[in-house]
Amino acid sequence: MHYVTSGQGEAVLLIHGLFGNLDNLKNLSRVLEKQHQVIRVDVPNHGLSEHWDNMDYPQLANAMIALLDDLHIKQVHVVGHSMGGKIAMAMALLHPERVISLVVADIAPVAYSPKHQTVFAGLTSLVLDSATTRQSALTHLMDAGIDEPTSQFLLKNLQRTDSGFEWKMNLPGLIHSYNNIIGWDLPLNNDSHFNKPTLFLRGGDSNYITAAYRDDIMRQFPHAIAKTLNGTGHWLHAQKPEIFNRIVSEFIEQNQG
């Protein structure tokens, strides 16, 4: 798995969301690395990491633990956004002895209904050949009904080849694994929970964490606290980075191992 590390001190693992890469939380990393060793990863099927035909949260959590083992890190604070938040929660529930504290950005430990059909349709119908340009790709995605900020974010996955462009991410693998990604299927019993400090951060304008999910959150994370960043949607870390970074860094400082 591709990763970068920076800084020294108690370790913090940062995990990005669907279609992202390790640069998504780079802004937060710059704040945390003053006091901590920070590890940013490309989740499998993203960025420069290996491509898997099938991915699910137990596999992804185990991959993160294997990386910690390779780095000789016994315990870590984990911060995850969206899909990365689900990976972080899976780590905490399946390997609680390895996680000091947990920060989950705008996602709940529940199964969601599909939200990305338009995105997948736009991506799969985009022809990548010698005539493709970044501008033509942007126009195509926007014509497919994807808003401009999301289209620009998706196009960060394009890389040049001798004959045009290709996707860095494993698009077929993500499509094949999509039900696992929006799902929440862990080998747990009803009493399984993470009994350590946990912070849920939600965007005030986002519908990813709602009151309907409160019981699911508290059952699995009984020590969870929640904060809302008003004026932000699902991309809260990018929309209000200074507030987001301050809240996360203060939480980690308060909960050092």
| Active-site annotation, residues | 82, 234
CA contacts within 13 A on the Cβ side of 217: 25
The helix (run of H) or strand (run of E) holding residue 43 is none
Classify the C-alpha dihedral 143-147-149-154 as positive or negative: negative
Nearest to 13 by CA among 55, 76, 84: 76
Q: CA-to-CA distance for 209 and 224, rounded, in angstroms? A: 13
Cα separation, 169 vs 20, in Å, equals 9
- From 203, 215, 224, 192, select the one nearest 101 (Cα to Cα): 224
Give the amino acid at 116: H
Cα separation values, 3 from 75, 148, 168, 184, 217, Å = 17, 28, 15, 25, 29
What is the spatial distance between Cα 226 and Cα 247, in angstroms, rounded to a whole number? 11
Per the DSSP assignment, residues forming a β-bridge with 105 are 81, 201
- How far apart CA 104 and CA 211 sit, in angstroms, is 16
